[in-house]
Amino acid sequence: MAKELEKCQTGFTTSMCTMIWEIQTRVNINAESRVEKPTPLYVPRDEQFEESKQITFSNGRLRAVLHTLIPAIKASISADNQDFSSFSDIGVLYKEGLLLKVGLQDEIWKNLPLLKAVNKIQESGEGQLKYDTPKILSRDKLAWLRDDEFARETVSGINPVSIERLRVFPPRSSLDPEIYGPLESALKEEHILGHLNGLSVSQALEENKLFMIDYHDIYLPFLDRINALDGRKAYATRTIFFLTPLGTLKPVAIELSLPPAGPNSRSKRVVTPPVDATGSWIWQLAKAHVCSNDASVHQLVHHWLRTHASLEPFILAAHRQLSAMHPIFKLLDPHMRYTLEINALARQNLINGDGVIESCFTPGQYSMEISAAAYKNFWRFDKESLHADLIRRGMAVPDPTQPHGLKLLLEDYPYAQDGLLIWSAIENWVRTYVEHYYPDSSIVCNDKELQAWYSESVNVGHFDLRDADWWPKLATSDDLIWILTVLIWLASAQHAALNFGQYPYGGYVPNRPTLMRRLIPEENDPEYANFLADPQKYFLLALPNVLQGTKLMAVIDTLSTHSPDEEYIGERQQPSIWTGDAEMIEAFYDFSAEIQQIEQEINRRNADPSLKHRCGAGVLPYELLAPSSGPGVTCRGVPNSVTI
């Protein structure tokens, strides 16, 4: 049998390999097999949730939402009530709630006594599930409609890591033109020239005033298959933004691409800011498609891949290769807490086949294929530091005269501004710690446990990319400082910035639709007359339906929630026992003090009226990188690790 399995790696078809594996499984009762729900995936006991978290928060609550509350929601939505008929229907979810069928609330209460949402069912007395009002509606209920809010969220919303500086106009694709059609964009100078405050396109490029969110190459290879799914319609979008004299961004054009259907097909379309009523609705639909692209890339690439998944090999290798007494294990320990458990839950309930992601996001069953393609073609560990990522996206340039060695080309960029403060604090703490235990680089090279940890993380944990020439070496103290800083940054601040705003921004479906069900009609389309007759109805039919929307809202409410036992950056439970070195304990207290100062600086920035991406009438402050938080959905707080 071993010889047969070797052949699988050298030329057998996938189906033949599968058949051999199934035969082996039947023959050998000790062979591994996939664990199916409700049996939980195995997680080592020392990596499982502690009792307080398991009972009061993520394990119990997430399972509760997925296995009891969502089926109840599904059972309560009748066939004639599948779609939102008006925007007020969505608002009712926060004021009155979703009416559950008689008897279901009792069943839910029996199974989920600790679920916050269910408390609200009991309080209503009428079996209605009430959702909290998302933060995006708390200061301005119509903010989501405005172009300035659409642009603001690209730098201070839940996905601030996709925006890039536009270097060449028109942008070009890097896909194979024989498969995906012409590389040239449909964007022309005339599309944006009237929105550049009198500048020419070349002047705007030269003065670093044009920015872009480009999902063309990520989406286009999957569009034929996505659009063949029932109730899923998508474009591959590009959005161009102009930096105004006020320092704010405004969208000036959206390109919508479909795979070419033939040599003369019109597969690319450009939509610009409206000048009439029809154009206003088309523009709103185009923005919704951009948000749908953005929601999927945020969830599948930036959130799942770049934090949850990419960290896991380093955590597993740390447990296998570093003793609990090793100084680097002690440093990393709080930044590995709960990550294996939450990833196991995600694999069984969120990113699994027919799970929440496939059900509620546009790519459907191709979701993880998009994530895998991004890992193969985009992910690079050497670009995962904040500095390297900002430079890669053209959002900053090296400048040794600046406090953090970078000059931001978009000065009012809250994620980058606050992130650089936290990155610097982490780096200073790690440098102090590493130089204490590794004063000479030869100690790094001769530390067999340390070298085995990094080697396994790369060669086993990231097996597919192990031969890439961009992996950093681990030969000096500076190498170790950089690697550890990246890992701690990803586990703490980067994950927090991408996770804890999911419900505050996405809990209102029109602000951030995770899937779209209609393309934008052309004048010669049969649906165009219906669109003209009732554009609001068409818009709502293009958004997620009631089941998709309420199901996602229930899940992201849970995923945006801090547990009562959360440990935030700058905190360490019982710090006196993680090391007996008084000098390192004192250095950690200095790190904690620096984190507290950063929080004060973030508060100051959020009150500065000159920073319009985080301060102004109805504008949400940027608090996703504010270090501390209480329990619940707070849209702030930076835990030490990926805990949810």
User: What is the set of active-site residues?
Assistant: 303, 308, 495, 499, 644
3 state DSSP class of 634? coil
What does the DSSP 8-state code read for residue 493? I
- Helix segments in 254-337, DSSP class H: 277-297, 310-321, 327-332
Question: What span, in angstroms and rounded, lies between the C-alpha atoms of 390 and 164?
Answer: 8
3 state DSSP class of 129? strand
Residue pair 494/306 in contact (Cβ under 8 Å)? The answer is yes
Question: What span, in angstroms and rounded, lies between the C-alpha atoms of 633 and 553?
Answer: 12
- Helix segments in 157-276, DSSP class H: 177-180, 189-192, 201-206, 216-219, 223-227
Task: State how far the alpha carbon of 185 is from the alpha carbons of 164, 236, 315, 482, 522, in Å.
Answer: 17, 12, 42, 38, 19
How many CB atoms are closer than 10 A to CB 250?
17
The sign of the dihedral angle between the CA atoms of 555, 491, 157, 284 is negative
Interaxial angle between packed helices 414-437 and 582-606, expressed in degrees from 0 to 180 and rounded to the nearest 10: 170
Give residues with Cβ within 8 angstroms of 269, minimum separation 6. 186, 255, 256, 257, 520
Cis status of the peptide bond prior to 38, with omega within 30 of 0: yes
For residue 55, give the nearest of 44, 45, 63 by alpha carbon: 63
Measured at the alpha carbon of residue 5, what is the angle toward residues 3 and 11, in degrees to the nearest 5? 100
